Chains A and B, each alone.
Chain A
Amino acid sequence: MIDSPCQGKNFYGKNSSFLFYNEAVKPFQPYRLSMKKLQIVCNGQPQEVPPGTTLARLLEDLTLPTDSVVAEINKQIIDRDQYATLKLAQGDQVELIRFVGGG
């Protein structure tokens, strides 16, 4: 099974002799592979994220306020203005330090 928008539908209509879109169209194979989840390690815990997940999205999923987090990926500190665009890659080692208020 793949998460294609066309999944389970006969792309050319009910009586078409074409096979289902997702089985017939070979060039989509790489796309299909790319949908496999990425394995990352976040604060020492193995975790899976969908491909294309940005750092901001990861923080959102973890319900962490982006402004209060210092992020390090593969020993590199990430600038705050890169959170929204930086996409996680297979095997990334992510370290997050979340701050709470008070002083």
Chain B
Amino acid sequence: MLKVNERDYPFTEGMRLGELADRLKPGADILVLNGASASRDSLLQDGDICSLIKIGEIPSALDMQHTLEARHGREVQRRFREATVGIMGIGGLGSAVALSLAKIGIGRLILADHDVVVLSNIHRQHFFIDQIGIKKTVALKKTLVRVNPFVSITALDIKLTEKNIPKLFGDVDVLVECFDDPAMKAQALRTALQHLPETGYIGASGVAGYGDANTIACRKITDRVFLVGDGASDARDSSGLFAPRVGVAAHHQANQVVRLILGLNEDE
């Protein structure tokens, strides 16, 4: 059996890569055999993994789904696909959380931020030089679509408050707090505890500097509420924010999103 573009295909003796391409993807530009570029006349062997690529072609939703299922498992991927995740703030934490969740194929992302990309964001946030001056919601959505065109993305250019958070994120499975401002972090958690009793919630506090990354942990507050960070490293102190440590915290958050979606209890 061969694996061709993530799907099984019967192997026959003497088959060459070019013939396979002509049959399955006529006009393919790039032929990849077991991870490396290969010529049309490469002889195939049983068990080979082939990718037949048309440059610039967007894969079908089904191809994308098969690929993710092959990596993550069918049941896990089904849960991802059916999940909705809200992300409040798409700076250093939020842009990384969003990218990670788009990559694994979370079905729907609701992003909210009212900032514009500025030069001082680029050192730790997933934006590009050519996006300076663009709204973060618009810029990040463009990036996410390039990563996974089949994620439904709602990008809200809005300032979040205690009043609008329950309305905007009332139907998400998990809400991720990625604000920079500690008062907004506190406000958001208070709102979630009071008004979103069924929603998973992952906040962050203490992500600054370049201290030991192992001090960044995901702590359980209640069965559905978690806080990521070291609880102490403040961005206002001299050390400031650094992409590596903020990234550690962001991916702790994204991993906890996965765990909540999969229904994993921290006590197990």
Contact = CB atoms under 8 A, between A and B. Distances in A.
B193 A99 contact: no
B5 to A, nearest CB: 39
A84 interface: no
| Secondary structure of the A contact surface, majority rule | mixed
Contact of A102 (B94, B227, B235): B235
Interface residues of A, number: 16
Given A70-B193, A77-B194, A97-B221, A102 B208 contact: yes
A80 B186 CA distance: 9
Contacts of B190: 70, 77, 79-80
Interface string B73-89: 00000000000000001
Interface residues of B, number: 35
A57 B258 CA distance: 40
Interface string A89-100: 000000001111
Contact of A100 (B91, B178, B182, B246): B182
B92 A103 contact: yes
B3 to A, nearest CB: 41
A70 B229 CA distance: 16
A102 B234 contact: yes
Interface of A: 65, 67-70, 72, 77, 79-80, 97-103
Given A97-B186, A103-B207, 17 more contacts: A67-B182, A68-B182, A68-B183, A68-B186, A70-B190, A72-B193, A79-B190, A97-B205, A99-B186, A99-B189, A100-B182, A100-B233, A101-B235, A102-B208, A102-B241, A103-B204, A103-B235
